[in-house]
Structure 1
């Protein structure tokens, strides 16, 4: 059975991930031009216009929604596992558009922070799922209690 300390660790990691998602999403929503200027190389940042600004704002709104849901939901081992695995495409995006992948030259070197963040979100989610799996759910507790009587 998971200890209260482990459950507190899960909650703290969940709140940290939710805060990071919401904060970065708010930045994209409120000031998309600075995100694009820092994230894209000059050749691509020069192509930013009102349409790309709108798309960045939409991305920010979605990230804020994800952070809100992540911060307020009672996550299960399955939901943490799904969230962690959902980071894989983002890690792939970082690889594809970085200086390593075939579409190199699109994003700046500052985007390594996005890669690190995505890896931490993925690993943190899988770690939380592992910690929660160690705690029996309510049905199992009732079965154990009924068998003991």
Structure 2
């Protein structure tokens, strides 16, 4: 039976963008690896997604991903600027990039919520300041056959 209910979960930490793969050489052989910060973040995402799935089958068709990214205000900011940021008057145009956070989320839930991130055909994303950093993720199955 195919589940058609959305899957929702919250990743309760400061969002981390997907880091570029690093290359090192061992014994003259090149080895690629994911940066530790990215790997740790993807593990946290995977754990939150597994808990949300509660044993459900993987989503098989096309999906919409909705992300509400919430980042902390810089501790060095004035009370006035902090208040403006929390009201949405100042936007978070600093790192991490929203698209890199999306990549990390997709990689973290690959094989847990859906078979592969190629199934993501629509994305709705917002990035704002908040007193509680984290990412609210909602994966919504869409009607239509996969190609």
TM-score normalised to structure 1 length: 0.27
Larger radius of gyration: 1
Higher relative contact order (CA 8 A, sep 6+): 2
TM-score normalised to structure 2 length: 0.27
User: Which has the larger share of helix?
Assistant: 1
